[in-house]
Structure 1
């Protein structure tokens, strides 16, 4: 392997990993490069103290960054050699990545790589256009390649139950000042120059309800923030899906993040976006109910809706110097 090409692959992988999705766009990761190895670490200062006390969502976010780095490295012609949680004495070290054997990236890998900076999280309803069943089946396979299971929820009654649980969790959290203040910490006011958190143009000021209603986070809590774009035509629920794992360990959470980013990049390549609803998963009793009643005993790691949107908005990311040690 040429030294320069390896160095370039490492640089590209770290640069790309910044664009992974994360809870409230907290970007809770740090990277370091030593020789020919990238280290991915969790940034505990960016963990949600009340919404994510266990760190589950933090590790899912970091797992998404790991898959993004893997994809970028493959696009540069190297099969990544990855070790998950390689050192028990350093729990914040989540993974190491080294360029392995040289490979020729195929069309599917290049398609995923092309979506890394274009993929966006959606925070409203979708256009009344169906997501093709063949694409949904491909997203199921994409998640399975990383270990977790993506289950499209086809029963209207099950969709109503998940919506009701989301409404209940959102209602409880909205009454908890700790949750609200934590959310506001990661909400940007209009004109903000911050490079993390959810920018004001990243969510609608007023959201038309879907049927059944999947409430969004109140990023404009006690403020009149948000995108004023007309959302009246975007009221479809889309395809509701659950991402689950057989276990509920730190390894499972990282795997869930990798599966999530794999399916999101594939969906984005076909014009499909995702809206996330993690409120019910942040409340132990509701998450346990979902596990036993709708997930066949597997652990729910993400609730999402998949659909078509024509919303073209910018995203923000911290600079490479902010995340690279």
Structure 2
């Protein structure tokens, strides 16, 4: 790769703190002068559970949003072209970093939140999010072309949604290919820079109505909250362009949440199964397409999952 400007190094390091499905970090970047090219890394795709690459592109979209935010911290503006080559499905975006104004206070706050955003798989406080915080998170998703539909404890569809989560997990538990794929990304060792270490998986919920994903590798059980806020991120369409938009919207929402000390965890299995994904749309009467289901709340902030080095992700 070319010699990378120190500012671009900082931007790419911050971008790499984005969330990704099972911490696969399925992105590669190339830097040529002030142009950053972002590509999806097919070798890190979940071939069984994500055959279309939907979650892979959502993960890349989160990386892209972090890069935009981190660029503003450096007084640069990222001029972004999404899917610039229709003949190259893995070419996610090109970013041209141009001189910009000094960042606003809000932009600085968002960039600092990159360091504090973390997925929390432990029990949350047993209460919904305050309305003003939830509105701020919803506005962040809307700014990137997505919507965030909440599923509060009093919502009549909540029990059906949680039942769909359990149903999808039960189907996946009987699918050896799905179990092997999850195990490949949750079996870690000292020095591994991707995947989810066992200590970060958390314990499995002992109550069936807990709005949290169960991992096969979880050790032990404990009761989880019943009254945290659930939310489903949706996009008007369901194409690769919308998947990238969903990733940007997801990360924008998560960074705003982090500024309010709110964490998230994700229930992706229900959306990896085409049947339960369809049934989720029906249960919530959605005209849009669900791209991510998450629980939002407050808890002690855990450590970050490991990250690959800049050299490992840059060509």
Same fold? TM cut 0.5: yes
Pick from 291, 302, 312 the counterpart of residue 302 of structure 2.
312
Q: What is the aligned-residue RMSD (CA, Å)?
A: 2.0
* Residues 126 and 237, structure 1, Cα contact 8 Å, conserved in 2: no
Matched residue SS, 1:313: coil
Deviation sequence 1:161-199 (CA, Å, 0-9, x none):
11010000000001111110000000134x532010001
- What corresponds to 1:45 in structure 2? 43
Matches within 5 A, 1:64-83: 64-83=62-81
Normalised by the size of structure 1, how large is the TM-score? 0.90
Measured after TM superposition, the shift of residue 14 of structure 1 is 1.1
CA displacement at 1:10 relative to structure 2:
2.0
Contact 1:192 1:199 in 2 (8 A): no
Residues 203-262 of structure 1: per-residue CA shift (max 9 Å, x gap): 22443437x233523241xxxx65x8x955x52441011100110110000000000000
Residue equivalent to 1:261: 251
Q: Does 1:11 align with 2:45?
A: no
Distance across 2 between alignment mates of 1:295 and 1:147: 19
When the two structures are aligned, how many residues end up with a matched partner? 312
**Unaligned segments of structure 2, at least 5 residues:** none
Question: Cα 1:157–1:129, aligned 2, differ >3 Å: closer, same or farther?
Answer: closer
Q: Distance in 1 between matches of 2:204 and 2:67?
A: 35
| Counterpart in the other structure of 2:215 | 218
Which range is displaced more, 154-163 or 295-304?
Answer: 154-163
Structure 2 Cα separation of the partners of residues 215 and 118 of structure 1:
21
Q: Which aligned pairs between 1:1-325 and structure 2 lie closer than 5 A?
A: 7-154=5-152, 155-189=154-188, 192-209=190-207, 212-220=209-217, 226=219, 234-325=224-315
Q: Is the 8 A contact 1:151 1:243 kept in 2?
A: yes
Gaps of 5+ in 1: none
2:102 match: secondary structure: coil
Change (3 A) 1:292 1:269: same
**Residues 73-125 of structure 1 deviation map (CA, whole Å, 9 limit, x = unaligned):** 01111121000000112221100111234122111111111121221112233
